[in-house]
Structure 1
Amino acid sequence: MESFSATTKRSAEVAAAVAEHPERYRVLTGERPTGPLHLGHYFGTIRERVRLQQAGVETFVVLADYQVITDRESMANVRENVYSAVLDYLAAGIDPQSTTIFTHSAVPALNQLMLPFLSLVTEAELHRNPTVKAELAASGRALSGLLLTYPVHQAADILFCKGNLVPVGKDNLPHVEMTRVIARRFSERYGDVFPVPDALITATPEVPGLDGRKMSKSYGNAIALSMTPDETVAVIRGTRTDQERRIGFDPEHRPGVSALLSTAALCLGVDPAELADEIGDAGSSALKAVTATAVNDFLAPLRARRQAFAADGDVVRTVLRRGNEIANAVAEGTLAQVREAMGTSY
């Protein structure tokens, strides 16, 4: 396993190569549709997908509906969440004519790769995986077979389309490393079928939730992209701050105030400490007003486009139908190569 410094250096080299020859790369990215997408998703991943798409990189986006039950007991609202995410993608600038948007459950050949891939990793490696540890700690439930094998499922996501580039934050590097291990081991055992993908470490800002923790659907501290302006104002007004009149940026000791400052600063493109100085002694009510205005102004164009797409009742189904057809064709082709390599083509 590479050191973080080596991975960072490699990522910088890959970024330069992508800029020069975007046509040589295929990206796989996505998320679990466990709730509405929020500002953290926009700044953390969606904006980067749009950038890569516009640069000419072929992109696949998976809505990992099967992985909803990785750490949950039900698939409640999964269809609604999938449809909502597609509207958010379209509104943010993801073009379904050049980016393939698809769902896990609609691509059986992708999921069939799990069987040979599981034979290439050990139980100990899965237990050591930081992604598994983090998800287990967050779920508060017993370790399920699906959660244990979560990194292998992610490897199948990336490799089914022969993705060779994975944009990630530094916290998600372990699942790319697991994919690299699986690709190499498959090659050693059966022959060359899969590329060894590179991580593209994205310099995405940390978007705190309204309570100072990481913005998360499960924490209930997020500003959803699909909120109305009034809903946004209401959720920001309800944020807990503190009794100090003077506004200051101190994430450790003043998490609520600092979270609002960070959110407003991201939307305004300014430094949060400088914004705090501007608000000064005006207090938390002024801070909340500044934050609500900043967020609503920033999201206004996206919301207008989203509303226009939502008015067309067939647009989401059309996008998913096309994406699922493309993903299935790609997955079937890859699975045929896997069967041939493993000697199970009859």
Structure 2
Amino acid sequence: MSVTTKPDATPPTSAEPREAGTITRSATAARERSAVLEGLIAQKPGEYRVLTGDRPTGALHLGHLLATVANRVRLQDLGVEVFLIVADYQVITDRDETGNLPATVREVLLDYLAAGLDPERSTVFTHSAVPALNQLLLPFLSLVTVAELERNPTVKAEAEAALRRQQRGISGLLLTYPVHQAADILFCHGNLVPVGADQLPHLEMTRTVARRFNQRYAAAQPYFPEPDALVTPSTTILGDDGAKMSKSRGNALELRASDDETAAFFRRAKTDAERVITYEPQRRPEIANLLQIGAYFAGTSPEALAEEVGPAGAGRLKAVVTETVVEGLSPIRARRRELASAGPRHLDELLARGNARANEIADRTLDDVRGLMGMRY
């Protein structure tokens, strides 16, 4: 979701001009800036705090690991402080039933820990447990227009999906989701946000909120930084049906799955009729997907794996990918089983500590905001 700096850290200076009214910076410029930011992180990782997370709608799957979780572990291991938000309020943005949220939150936490996120270096907390963070939504909403919210492409896409599923109007919470995400980032003074290129509009909303708050309430000494994007490689992992891997579609390979379930998943994965294996993502997306997954766990490139399999065909490719995934996920699954066997109490204690830490930061930020707005009574 987002990367943020510590409140007392000096934000890196953007390489781009920041003109009021700018709606979207080009993805190319954002990627160029990201290369610079990666160098700064490598030099001074302690100056950054990463805020990222997931909606607790089920246990995490292979797509989560390759697209986001592995990068979170990488940043943590570089020395960056990582905050993980389990966005339980976001579960109700587009659905009527939440399911067993406490159990689901624990499943997500198990996946985080098993994948390598260290509770001594990373902090996990839930949206609903941090009132001050969510209270920032009110003043922030006063800084944006309804038209700006409705133009957000992600809101448009989610609204269309919600209408297809439920055949009813979108909720107000879904409409205000970009501003809620701005509160997630800005409550700890974020100045760096890891996103895919398709999520840049969300970041622009956060930049807009920060800029307008500073102009209105803190012109002499800006309080919130306007965050930069750390653009991450676009990693879309397909499910066994050839569509994007998703819990809601039922086409995902969960991280907690057994070896046999993993083998069955790849056996039924869609391929194509061509015999020779080549890496052509646009023309052969299903084959490219298998090559990307196998290459990640084998520590090679999709092109090299394609050359290795070559004329042996899709059957051989599936066997190679299954072997590398089973081996690669083995330590994660063993760690997960070990953590799960200890029962929920340890997980609940970790979450309580994370909630307390997030509350301390959010309370301080909200108090500052109230003071700047002349609302501290």
TM-score, with structure 2 as normaliser: 0.85
SS at match of 1:70: coil
Structure 1 residues 42-61: aligned runs within 5 Å: 42-61=65-84
* Alignment check: 8 A CA contact 1:208 1:263 kept: no
* Change in CA separation of 1:239 and 1:3 when aligned onto 2, cut-off 3 Å: closer
* Change in CA separation of 1:5 and 1:235 when aligned onto 2, cut-off 3 Å: closer
- Of 130-139 and 237-246, deviating more is 237-246
Q: Which structure features the higher share of helix residues? A: 1
* Alignment check: 8 A CA contact 2:197 2:234 kept: no
CA shift for structure 1 position 245: 4.4
CA shift for structure 1 position 220: 2.3
- Of 88-97 and 109-118, deviating more is 88-97
1:210 pairs with 2:240: yes
* Alignment check: 8 A CA contact 2:30 2:230 kept: no
CA shift for structure 1 position 155: 0.5
Unaligned runs of 5+ in 2: 1-21
**Residue aligning to 2:257:** 227
Q: Distance in 2 between matches of 1:312 and 1:146?
A: 36
Match of 1:332 among 363, 366, 372: 363
SS at match of 1:27: strand
- Of 48-57 and 61-70, deviating more is 48-57
Structure 1 residues 144-183: aligned runs within 5 Å: 144-183=171-210
CA shift for structure 1 position 37: 0.9
* Change in CA separation of 1:20 and 1:277 when aligned onto 2, cut-off 3 Å: closer
* Alignment check: 8 A CA contact 1:26 1:164 kept: no
CA shift for structure 1 position 255: 4.0
* Change in CA separation of 1:84 and 1:250 when aligned onto 2, cut-off 3 Å: same
**Residue aligning to 1:73:** 96
SS at match of 2:52: strand
| CA shift digits 1:270-316 (9 cap, x unpaired) | 33344344334444433322222111111011111111111222221
CA shift for structure 1 position 267: 1.8
CA shift for structure 1 position 50: 1.5
1:266 pairs with 2:296: yes
* Change in CA separation of 1:94 and 1:204 when aligned onto 2, cut-off 3 Å: farther
CA shift for structure 1 position 254: 4.3
| CA shift digits 1:227-253 (9 cap, x unpaired) | 111111122222233455444444455
- Of 110-119 and 220-229, deviating more is 220-229
SS at match of 2:92: helix
**Residue aligning to 1:124:** 147
1:17 pairs with 2:48: no
SS at match of 1:161: coil
| CA shift digits 1:102-137 (9 cap, x unpaired) | 000111111111110100011111111122122223
Report percent identity of matched pairs. 56
* Alignment check: 8 A CA contact 2:242 2:270 kept: no
CA shift for structure 1 position 344: 1.2
Q: Distance in 2 between matches of 1:264 and 1:286?
A: 12
* Change in CA separation of 1:243 and 1:57 when aligned onto 2, cut-off 3 Å: closer
Q: Distance in 2 between matches of 1:34 and 1:322?
A: 22
Unaligned runs of 5+ in 1: none
**Residue aligning to 2:327:** 297
Q: Distance in 1 between matches of 2:26 and 2:319?
A: 44
Q: Distance in 2 between matches of 1:297 and 1:126?
A: 45
* Change in CA separation of 1:10 and 1:101 when aligned onto 2, cut-off 3 Å: same
CA shift for structure 1 position 77: 3.4
* Change in CA separation of 1:328 and 1:19 when aligned onto 2, cut-off 3 Å: same
**Residue aligning to 1:189:** 216
* Alignment check: 8 A CA contact 1:28 1:165 kept: no
Give, as a single letter, the amino acid of the residue that structure 1 aligns with 2:352. R
CA shift for structure 1 position 55: 2.0
Give, as a single letter, the amino acid of the residue that structure 1 aligns with 2:117. I
* Alignment check: 8 A CA contact 2:159 2:174 kept: yes
| CA shift digits 1:182-221 (9 cap, x unpaired) | 0111111111332222211123544333333322222322
Q: Distance in 2 between matches of 1:239 and 1:54?
A: 33
Q: Distance in 1 between matches of 2:283 and 2:193?
A: 35
TM-score, with structure 1 as normaliser: 0.92
- Of 330-339 and 229-238, deviating more is 229-238
* Alignment check: 8 A CA contact 2:59 2:111 kept: no
Match of 2:351 among 320, 326, 332: 320
